[in-house]
Amino acid sequence: MIEKFTENNPWKNGHFDNHDFRKNISSLEFNVGNEVAVGKEKLTDK
């Protein structure tokens, strides 16, 4: 059962080993989670 799951699962069988996900993200202009941090939130003690 586990072997069959691995063969059919593209994340486990090596289908995406040489795939450039960064290139896909940049071509889609979908930058969620990859943007550069600008600053910190200032927290004040009350």
Domain ranges of the chain: 1-31
Determine the pLDDT at residue 35. Answer: 67
Distance in angstroms (rounded) separating the CA atoms of residues 34 and 28: 13
Dihedral class, residue 29 (left if φ above 0, else alpha if ψ from -120 to 50, else beta): left
Of 7, 12, 31, 13, which is closest to residue 21 (Cα–Cα)?
31
* Nearest by Cα to 22 from 14, 34, 12: 34
Confidence grade of residue 31 (pLDDT, cut at 50, 70, 90): low
Q: What is the pTM of this model?
A: 0.41
